[in-house]
Structure 1
């Protein structure tokens, strides 16, 4: 039986995943960016690394069949299915309190860095650092002049990606709380997303 787990709006969620299991990440409302991390369950200092994945797949957006690599250059997750339009991000670091101060926020703002660490602590674990995440459904186009822009997702309600675990791992998600830039849709507030484990 497949159990659907909620990633609450503006919050994080983590889970243990066995090698060979498939994690299905669902963009429930269509516009929600989901920051995604994966750590070797037996050694949290080994984790999914965008810096190590890009030279392996030779692209900045993974496609079906591509393996995400760890900081020790081993496969940790493989992208099996993508019904979301195929636009994701491997460039942008997780938002944090410093980012929101730069954007003019006074006081505390929910952020993906804190969400990662809170989600890991919910499992009794401590993430050794905040790796750059795989930003599922995030749309950061590279223009002809090599500049970047923050654009709304192209994903649709109920669309999903499926990721196969290539080792025993801990996966962590953040339903990104960004509400200043349009990365969760123009005029849209952050929403919950969901994931399930199969196999």
Structure 2
């Protein structure tokens, strides 16, 4: 799908929002309708767990199920429409230099870490905790968390429906960009995962750049 030139040629020096999110940290960004938010994988293969909310009604949140079903595509890339539980369009992926992103693997939690990697990981920090920490300022609690997007993460789905957590497809400087279809909140956890080999067991920072309409 094509992208308008002003989307891909936006210059970082003109961004009205410029934020570095350290590995294991998070962010809550309010993006107005028509605004562009770019998530830059600064070092390569860093998973960025992301949730979207209608800024005027946080109950109207991103739905991985509806997004996959309505587009008949299990992976996200340029042109993908990110839909809410009510099938409202929250945002569109307006540019993507990585090529494929996961929305079925879910976010890490202390409980899932134990199941995947063993009891010794129980007290390691996880994305669910970051979501709750940064979402609290907008009234986002446990009931408002759902299936998320894992930008830059490679989770192949086999013919039987099974999932694998494979090496990432991203690289240093690659990015994905969202164009808000309405006023939205973008809740991010820059995954602290130390056990998944996709980022070489070395979580790294990401950069958020935003351009809002005048």
Tell me the TM-score normalized by structure 2.
0.86
* 1:41 is the counterpart of 2:44: no
Alignment correspondent of 2:134 = 119
Does the aligned pair in 2 maintain the 1:87–1:153 contact within 8 Å?
no
Does the aligned pair in 2 maintain the 1:141–1:151 contact within 8 Å?
yes
Tell me the TM-score normalized by structure 1.
0.92
Alignment correspondent of 1:142 = 157
Question: Considering only aligned residues, what root-mean-square deviation do their CA atoms show, in Å?
Answer: 1.5
Which segments of 5 or more consecutive residues in structure 2 lack a partner in the other structure? 1-13
Distance 1:142 1:124, change over 3 A: closer
Instruction: Indicate which of 68, 82, 85 corresponds to 1:68.
Output: 82
Instruction: Indicate which of 136, 158, 170 corresponds to 2:185.
Output: 170
Structure 1 residue 124 displacement after superposition: 4.7
Structure that is richer in helix per residue: 2
* 1:133 is the counterpart of 2:128: no
When the two structures are aligned, how many residues end up with a matched partner? Answer: 195
Structure 1 residue 145 displacement after superposition: 4.9
CA displacement, residues 48-67 of structure 1 (integer Å, 9 cap, x when unaligned): 11011001111001231121
Runs of 4+ in 1 over 6 A off after TM superposition: none
